[in-house]
Amino acid sequence: MALQDAPVYELCVLGAGPAGYVAALRAAQLGATVALIEEEEVGGTCLNHGCIPTKALVESGRALRMIRRASEYGLRLDGRVEADFAAVVARKDRIVARLVRAVKELLLQRGVSLIRGRAAVQRAGSVVISTAGEPVEVRYRSLLVATGSRPLVPVIEGRELGCVLDVRRLLGSTRLPRSLVVVGGSAVGIEMSDIYASFGTRVTVLEKFSILPRVDQQLARRYLAIATRRGIAIQEGADVQSVEQLDTGMARVHYVAGGAARYVDGELVLLATGRQPNSAGLGLERLGVAITPQGAIQVDSCLRTAVPGIYAAGDVVGGWMLAHVAAHEGLVAAENALGGERHMDYSAVPNCIFTEPEIASVGMTEVQARTAGFDAQVCRFPFSANGRAMTMGEEEGVVRLVYERGSGRILGVHILGPLASELIVEGALAVKEGLNVRQLAEIMHQHPTLSEAVMEAGMAAAYGEALHFRAL
């Protein structure tokens, strides 16, 4: 298509992941003409190879554990219960396909032009899309780059072997490995280790530093103990050097820990060592867009780049690299691209890890609060004292509330326990709105619910003691 014949879209979005497709939907809501360019599938990594497929596996694993615990609930179950992993994966694939289809339908209903192909910026005001047919040129008034991230592959000898996988390839396999070595103990590595352990895989996690670096360290240490009891071997301080394929078909991972050379064997090796912004090859530098050495596009609080009319959102700007952060950035960027002046606020970002039990946090940890100069205090309430948790048979865990002495202002909420991912939104509201512990304690919570544990932590902070728990 010649440039003079190309339609001019008010917003052109590169990438249809959480940031991109949400931005496209919001811009269309506001009446704009929108082109959404995607090289692979709508939904990006989150919907197709991350958040949604892993949660489908989490729920299958949870169901398996509950069935095996039937006797604890007064139920008699005759016969052995086993996972049909191929059927588990098929269920995961059906859920993903259904959600992808739903997003596509929403985009169609809102009038968004969805174009399949890889985009590159040739000149200001237009992008060229490489498609299966002839290249397509799209003109725009504003451009939003939301091209996400890609796996960060560590420099490890043997990383190219067939037994070494990233999360995407592992999730695409219908074979349940008998043993799995996970390289990387941050959120993704720990969540994947927890998932596969729930199906009976023998899992070893090798982490160079400490696991779950973004999690309150009291909760991280507590989860480490729980995971160890469940049979997950976690080796912190492990510097992985190489992977070799043995004649037996097993993979051997060599690492150094405590100054000594060691190794561990597994059928498969998962590299879960983080992700990096996916900004290469777009041609943005031609227009003067600033990109860090790590590949992150530099933006201001309105998600504007240094080039007028060009915005960026999601993993490609670095930072949190969470789907819900990306979606929120997409909303902000879309509104600003159409004339708004909305600023991003990262003070209350909820972060969830879908382990067993779940881990969720928002705001500052105790260490972060004190480093920031607050006279920070911590109150806690255990789920073992919560009636709903008892009825569920899920008593492991605790709510930790970080607050400022004097004002009582809530600085952070950190939860290890059942459905922590659902409970944390109350903490996010408290942190964002600047609530104090007395206000939290005085909100009526329905009974019996897990949310009462959050209220009780507030009571412990406001009144010096929780109602249903007395620390010895």
Catalytic residue ranges: 447
Whether the ω angle into residue 357 lies within 30 degrees of 0, i.e. cis, is: yes
Whether the ω angle into residue 448 lies within 30 degrees of 0, i.e. cis, is: yes
What is each CA distance from 309 to 12, 199, 420, in whole angstroms?
11, 49, 40
Q: Residue 128 in contact with residue 136, Cβ under 8 Å?
A: yes
- Burial grade of 15 (CB within 10 A; 0-12, 13-18, 19 or more): buried
User: What is the token pair recorded at 192?
Assistant: 């994947």
Radius of gyration of the chain (CA): 24
Alpha helix (H) residue ranges in 184-216: 187-198
> In Å, how far from its chain's centre is CA 324?
8
Alpha helix (H) residue ranges in 30-128: 44-49, 51-68, 85-109
Amino acid identity, position 163:
C
Q: Which residues pair with 151 in a beta bridge?
A: 275
User: What is the token pair recorded at 39?
Assistant: 């090289």
CA distance 55 to 95: 10
CA distance 324 to 255: 35
Measured at the CA of 39, the angle between CA 319 and CA 8, to 5 degrees, comes to 90
What is each CA distance from 451 to 211, 381, 422, 445, in whole angstroms?
27, 11, 9, 7
Q: What are phi and psi of 337, to 5 degrees?
A: -65, -25
User: What single-letter DSSP state applies at residue 267?
Assistant: S
